Amino acid sequence: MVSPKNRKTKGKLFENMIANILHGTFYGKCNKYKQLYDDVGNSTLKPKRDSSSGTFKDSDGDIKLNLLKKFFPVSIECKHHKDMNFQLNYLLGNGCNSLFDIYDNQALINADFSGLRPLVVFKANFTNVFCLFDNYIFFISKINLFNNNYIRLRGHFTIMLFSDFLRIYIENMSKLPSIL
């Protein structure tokens, strides 16, 4: 059994990894973000793990977006579990460990408080990073860009690779209505 300290460390490392993926992806593929980041020239404005996340109800999520919030107004809830699996009872269940429970009781609450869009980013050991989002909130379904690399759940929720989500989001930022 993993000790609580090791679980917290694993969660912190995952949150740091997601912050680095966000910065690297937007810096490499979004010229406006790259230009703003280079003009400001301050590495403390990169996305980073929010050390207060989970401690206070007024958190923006697990990742403090800093400059990236202008281009990616999202509240991210990160989950890295050794035993997370993609069985239907986990994905669709109503228990305290289902993705929908995490979405409703953590991501949605943080997003509503901060006026951002909720996103759950998750993985298990030795798997890729996935995300769960509501199509109505991200307006992704209106863009109709998907091929067969996603799972549609409960009609309007989608699970897909986080890297695919970021690629689609960046490629279509001009088509997505702003909520801020």
In the prediction, which pLDDT does 179 show?
A: 41
Determine the average pLDDT of the residues in 72-92.
73
Least confident range of 19-23, 91-95, 114-118, 131-135: 91-95
Decide if 180 is inside a domain: no
**Does residue 145 contact residue 172 with C-beta atoms inside 8 Å?**
yes
Determine the average pLDDT of the residues in 78-100.
64
Domain count along the chain: 1
Decide if 147 is inside a domain: yes
The amino acid that residue 135 corresponds to is: N
Rounded CA-CA distance 168/172 in Å is 6
Provide the mean pLDDT of the chain: 79
In the prediction, which pLDDT does 37 show?
A: 94
- For the cut 50, the answer to whether the pLDDT of residue 33 exceeds it is yes
In the prediction, which pLDDT does 180 show?
A: 34
- Cα–Cα distances in angstroms (integers) from residue 150 to residues 7, 32, 59, 141, in the given order: 28, 28, 29, 12
In the prediction, which pLDDT does 156 show?
A: 76
Decide if 83 is inside a domain: yes
> What is the domain extent for residue 117?
4-175
Structure tokens that stand for 92 in this block: 């669709």
Give the model's confidence band at 166: pLDDT under 50 very low, under 70 low, under 90 confident, else very high: very high
Three-state SS for 145?
Answer: coil
